[in-house]
């Protein structure tokens, strides 16, 4: 038995490859480094869906129409605002039809953005803003969240985030989606299982603690002492290190570029950025000193935290924003798995008491 199924191969996929040795993420033959320079979220959805679902003539328009179609679910969502946002989004997603066709797939990709923005506004005592089907998913998400037209840099930063997280091999939520898809349940069932897995702090929950760390450090000139004390206490620094990536986390580099772009446009509080840079520098320096044999680099969560905070998402909704991107991968993996026609049904080792003899 391999605890945590570590090193167990449980699927063949054409969708993405996490190449930890070389620090690369390949999505359908394109490295993430190239993908973020050439593609928007809609292009990546099309890339992931290709061959698994029919291609609409204009995916951006089809996704816009799907946002409009899902918006009606918010009409009676007031009772959900006291739930954590990810649970509210899950409850609304559960209302969608459980098909395995393109309309279902598009609604599932559209819905996390519509539901997250709508629930956050309802919680703030504001009315949800109806989607604008003419906009890109990233632009419309920020518009529905903030109620104003976002800057080109803000749209580009969210778009880059969505592209960066759209797929990542057989992570826990994607595996959950594939297990459900293998039973021939519908795509909505797969996405609900995946979102439930993502909700757990061991999977989708690290960017919030990165901000808690920045809050704890407080001032740039406190970074060295704070990091040193945390490491002396045996704590792990949030936003550093990775189980698979051994040289670099390519997603961190992709998001670092987006954070720099936001900073250049004045969309990040310069004091927050200075604090984050001081914390990153102190953490990298001290991790190198303490673990010279292990490349412990900045990971995707560190820049995700800065980026989503700067875009105006509250930290309790970060998992929902992760789902807005990753849902594209979940749907594609669910279709890929269902097409194999093979039920996923592993074995367990019984370690309980032996059967008692009848008296
Ligand atoms: N801070 C401090 N020390 C760390 C560390 C971190 N972020 N990441 C790893 N280390 C240490 C480990 O404690 C271990 O030390 P030891 O040999 O004295 O026990 C050593 O470095 C090697 O660890 P490694 O095998 O590379 O890490 P892992 O595979 O066990 O863990 C993570 C990978 C991601 C769980 C780990 O790096 C971590 O907890 N990071 C912080 C949380 C985080 O950012 N998660 C999001 C990941 S995308």
Rounded average pLDDT over 29-43: 98
Q: Residue 6: its pLDDT value, please?
A: 87
- Tens digits of residue pLDDT in 286-337: 999 999 988 899 999 999 999 999 999 999 999 999 999 999 999 999 999 9
User: Residue 31's beta-bridge partner residues?
Assistant: 26
Rounded average pLDDT over 223-227: 97
Q: Are 139 and 294 in contact (CB under 8 A)?
A: no
pLDDT > 90 in the chain, percent: 92
Burial 195-230 (b: 16+ CB within 10 A, else e): bebbbeeebbbbbbbbbebbeebeebeebbebbeeb
Indicate whether 111 pLDDT > 90: yes
- Tens digits of residue pLDDT in 144-155: 999 999 999 999
Could you identify the atom of ligand 1 that is nearest to the CA of residue 246?
Answer: 26
**CB 230 near ligand 1, within 6 Å:** no
**CB 293 near ligand 1, within 6 Å:** no
Token pair listed for 75: 């009409």
Could you identify the atom of ligand 1 that is nearest to the CA of residue 300?
Answer: 48
* Cα 241 to middle of ligand 1, angstroms: 5
* Cα 186 to middle of ligand 1, angstroms: 37
* Cα 171 to middle of ligand 1, angstroms: 17
**CB 296 near ligand 1, within 6 Å:** yes
Cα separation of the two ends of the chain: 34
Q: Residue 206: its pLDDT value, please?
A: 65
Which of 165, 241, 243, 299 should be mutated for ligand 1, with most atoms under 8 A from CB?
241
Residues noted as catalytic: 242, 301
Rounded average pLDDT over 183-202: 96
* Cα 14 to middle of ligand 1, angstroms: 29
Ligand 1: residue whose CA is nearest its atom 28: 243
Could you identify the atom of ligand 1 that is nearest to the CA of residue 249?
Answer: 48
Could you identify the atom of ligand 1 that is nearest to the CA of residue 242?
Answer: 34
Indicate whether 110 pLDDT > 80: yes
**CB 21 near ligand 1, within 6 Å:** no
Rounded average pLDDT over 95-106: 98
- Write the DSSP assignment of 292-307 as a string of letters: TTS---B-HHHHHHHH
Q: Residue 202: its pLDDT value, please?
A: 83
**CB 236 near ligand 1, within 6 Å:** yes
Alpha-helical runs (H) found in the chain: 32-38, 41-49, 59-71, 85-93, 102-123, 137-146, 152-165, 172-182, 187-198, 207-217, 223-232, 250-264, 270-290, 300-310, 318-340
pLDDT-derived band of residue 279, with 50, 70 and 90 as boundaries? very high
Could you identify the atom of ligand 1 that is nearest to the CA of residue 239?
Answer: 44
**CB 238 near ligand 1, within 6 Å:** yes
**CB 291 near ligand 1, within 6 Å:** yes
The strands making up 16-19's β-sheet, listed across from edge to edge, are: 16-19, 24-27, 30-31
């Amino acid at each position: 038995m391999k605890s945590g199924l570590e090193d167990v191969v449980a699927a063949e996929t054409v969708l993405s490859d996490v190449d930890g040795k070389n620090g690369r993420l390949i999505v359908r033959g394109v490295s993430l480094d190239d993908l973020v320079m050439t593609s928007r979220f809609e292009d990546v959805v099309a890339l992931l869906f290709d061959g698994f679902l029919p291609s609409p003539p204009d995916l951006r328009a089809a996704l816009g129409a799907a946002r409009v179609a899902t918006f009606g679910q918010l009409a009676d969502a007031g009772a959900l605002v006291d739930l954590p946002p990810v649970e509210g989004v899950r409850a609304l997603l559960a209302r969608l039809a459980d098909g395995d066709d393109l309309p279902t797939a598009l609604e599932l990709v559209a819905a996390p953005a519509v539901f997250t923005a709508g629930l956050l506004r309802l919680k703030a005592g504001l009315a949800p803003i109806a989607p604008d089907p003419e906009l890109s998913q990233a632009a419309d998400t920020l518009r529905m969240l903030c109620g104003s037209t976002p800057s080109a840099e803000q749209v580009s930063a969210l778009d880059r985030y969505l592209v960066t997280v759209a797929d990542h091999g057989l992570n826990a939520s994607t595996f959950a989606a594939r297990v459900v898809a293998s039973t021939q349940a519908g795509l909505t069932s797969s996405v609900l299982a995946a979102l439930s897995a993502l909700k757990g702090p061991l999977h989708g929950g690290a960017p919030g603690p990165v901000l808690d760390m920045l809050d704890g450090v407080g001032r740039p000139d406190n970074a060295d002492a704070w990091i040193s004390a945390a490491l002396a206490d045996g704590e792990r620094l949030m936003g550093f290190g990775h189980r698979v990536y051994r040289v670099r986390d390519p997603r961190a580099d992709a998001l670092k570029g987006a954070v720099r772009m936001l900073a250049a446009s004045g969309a990040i509080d310069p004091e927050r950025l200075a604090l984050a840079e001081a914390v990153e520098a102190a953490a990298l320096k001290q991790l190198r000193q303490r673990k010279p044999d292990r490349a412990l680099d900045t990971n995707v969560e560190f820049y995700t935290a800065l980026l989503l905070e700067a875009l105006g998402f509250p930290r309790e909704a970060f998992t929902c924003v992760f789902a807005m991107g990753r849902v594209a991968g979940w749907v594609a993996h669910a279709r890929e798995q269902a097409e194999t026609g093979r039920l996923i049904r592993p074995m367990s080792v019984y370690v309980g008491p032996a059967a008692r003899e009848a008296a």
